[in-house]
Every structure is written in C-alpha cells, then in structure tokens.
Structure 1
Amino acid sequence: MRNLIGAAVLAVMGGPVMAALLCDDLGFAGLLAKCNRGETIKVLLASGQPLGQDVQLQSGAYYKMEITADGSAELAVEGSSFFRAIWMNEIVINSIEIRPMAIDSIEFDKAGVAELSFVAIKPGSHTLRIPGSTGESQSITLSIQ
C-alpha cells in the first residue's frame, strides 16, 4: 500500500510534463483536427542554398512539411532521429499519397515537391540535413517540446 501511494505521488509531482495540444476540443478528427495544426514547415533543396529555418514544434500537434527541390543538383534530405520522433501520416508526391511505416531519407533526382504530414511525438532536438554536408546552412534543427 505504501509503494502504491509513493508511486501515485511521484506520478503527480515528478512525472513527465505533457505538452498542451493546440486546441481543447479535437472532435471526430482527433489529433488531425484543423485546430490542432501548426504552421507548414518549408524546406528548400537547392545547390549552395540554405535548407531553411530552425523550427520549434509542439508534441501532439499536427504539421505539414513541404520539401521543394529546384533541380539544380541531385540532393537528398536525411534525419533518422527526427523521422523516428514523429508519427508519419502520409507523404504526397505528384498527388500520390504514401503512408509509410518509417523513412530515413528522401532524395530528389530532379525538381519536385514532397509534402509530409505528421504528428510530432517525442520531445527533443532533431536535425534534418543534406547527407554528407558539413555547413550550418545545410541543416535545420527541429525541436519538439
């Protein structure tokens, strides 16, 4: 009985802090509800250009990431720690919807757009980068709180 009370006190006082959702009434759509959507994240794949801005995400919120390649070079974007910290709803390429279990990277051989929709889950700081690059502008940090 003492262990049960101690566990309850620890859970209330010392448990992990849960991030608040963006809206109170999620309704039928649940986490994918319109009121629970964050801003669209824009990523640009272009030779010699910055990948984008660092982003802060809310755990439990729904986001879209638009990755645009300008075709100036064959480029990819990787971020296994980020892709494992989210629940991927779908990836849309040329109006084709893909619902993957997991991804490690996305590569563009020519110009195009890929739109990822996901729910941020695991708090932490994650990097999305062009493979093999070392420049600061060739990566973005996505922090999930």
Structure 2
Amino acid sequence: MKALMILAACALPFAALAESEGPKFGMAGLLSAKNKQDLPPITLSAGMPLADGPWVLQSGTYYEFEIQGDGSQELALIGPEFFRAIWIDEIVVEGLEIRPLGLDSVEFDEAGEMEIGFIAIKPGRYYLKVPGSTGDTQRLEITIQ
C-alpha cells in the first residue's frame, strides 16, 4: 500500500504538467489537414475531356476530388484497379456521406456532383475512364508513387 502511495505521489507532478500544457497530439497523420490535397475535378459531359491532364499521386497522402456530371448523357466512370489501390474514406452526394468498403464504378443518369475522399495506397499505374470509349480524352491516367 505504501508503494502505491509513493508511486501516485510521483505521478501527480507529471499529470499536472501534461494537463497544463494541453494535448500534444492532433488527428492521425494520414487524416490530418497537413496531409490533404485537392485534385482537379473530373467532368462527365458528352464529347468533353474528363480532365486537364494525368494525376501523379503519392502513396500515403489523402486526396479529394469532385466528379461533375452535366446531364448531357448518361455516363459512367470505371476504374476497378484504381479503386482497389486506394482506401476510400467517403463519397459525398448531395450532403449524404457514403463510406463504402469498395468501389468499381460510378454512374450519372442526370446532372449532379459527388466528392470522393481517399488515401492513395498501392504504387502503380491506373486509370479512370468512360466505359466503351476509345478516345484518350475519355481516360484519366493516374500514377501512384
């Protein structure tokens, strides 16, 4: 009992010091604001390019991007290999947050917008594209380093 009292007395100054200085740790490194980058949006529109150019991502970095569909045509975006090389934190559609376990594709039947937040995980070369299309402008090349 005496040993417990001595141990508690020794720990009190350290506990008071820790409380007075406030917490020293913030959000987890991967999800912290310092680790977040916004990517340019992807546009789903009949006959228009998906994006301005290829994406080069860093493994371990948190990214967000928007997919904007203008409703000119029913269009989808596929990229199963890419979606398996990332960890999807959330997909936001009209304020509704979706936290999927995995993803293969998305489709816009009418005009709308979605935002996807993810962490790049597996290095490699990937793509997102409009299914059935053959043009380079309908394909977004993605490299995870």
In the superposition, the TM-score normalised over structure 1's length comes to: 0.80
Larger Rg: 2
For structure 1, the 5+ residue unaligned runs are 1-25
In the alignment, which residue of structure 2 is the partner of 1:12?
A: none
Q: Which runs of 4+ in 1 moved over 4 A?
A: none
Alignment partner, residue 91 of structure 2: 91
Percent identity over the alignment is: 51
Partners of 1:141 and 1:41 lie apart in 2 by 13
Q: Deviations over 1:17-51 (max 9, x none)?
A: xxxxxxxxx83233010110123231000000000
Q: Distance in 1 between matches of 2:115 and 2:122?
A: 21
Aligned to 1:35, the other structure's residue is in SS state helix
Most deviating of 31-40 and 93-102: 31-40
In the alignment, residue 120 of structure 1 is paired with which amino acid? A
Report 1:19-34 matches (<5 A): 27-34=26-33
User: 1:37, 1:63 within 8 Å by CA — same for their partners in 2?
Assistant: yes
Structure-2-length-normalised TM-score:
0.80
- For 2:13, the equivalent position in structure 1 comes to none
What secondary structure does 1:27 align onto?
Answer: coil
The aligned length equals 120
**Paired residue secondary structure (2:133):** coil
- Alignment RMSD (CA, Å): 1.1
Gaps of 5+ in 2: 1-24
